[in-house]
Structure 1
Amino acid sequence: MQLISREPWWRNPPKPGQREQDLEWGYLEIYKDGHAVFVEQRPTDHELAERKSCRNFPEAEE
């Protein structure tokens, strides 16, 4: 198995008004054969700040 991508990723998308720091974070690993694995290991704060994906947070409903 050849790993082709490993990115900080949330386990579940945020709910409206939920803060980034309240989410369960890990890594999404994608392998050459196409399968993906969620790794339960919290990324560093730097990795979370520099991530390219998982940036859409819904606005809180009023």
Structure 2
Amino acid sequence: MTHGNKYEFVCQKNMKKQSDSVTGKRRDNGLSAATRKQRDSVIVQQKQGKTNEKKEEPK
């Protein structure tokens, strides 16, 4: 049974996608858990500050 060239490309793409999700690739850049947690908390505080500024703006 021949599926053609497109089928092969779809299979390869799907296999790569599944292997990436299994290996747990992240953008941690080799950071420790404590450093990552601190970085994330700073980002959350910045986002909260922006939303508070929007709420305080007069309409």
Q: Name which one, 1 or 2, has greater alpha-carbon Rg.
A: 2
Higher share of residues assigned strand? 1
Higher RCO structure, 1 or 2 (CA under 8 Å, sep 6+): 1
TM-score w.r.t. the length of structure 2 is 0.19
Higher share of residues assigned helix? 2
TM-score w.r.t. the length of structure 1 is 0.19
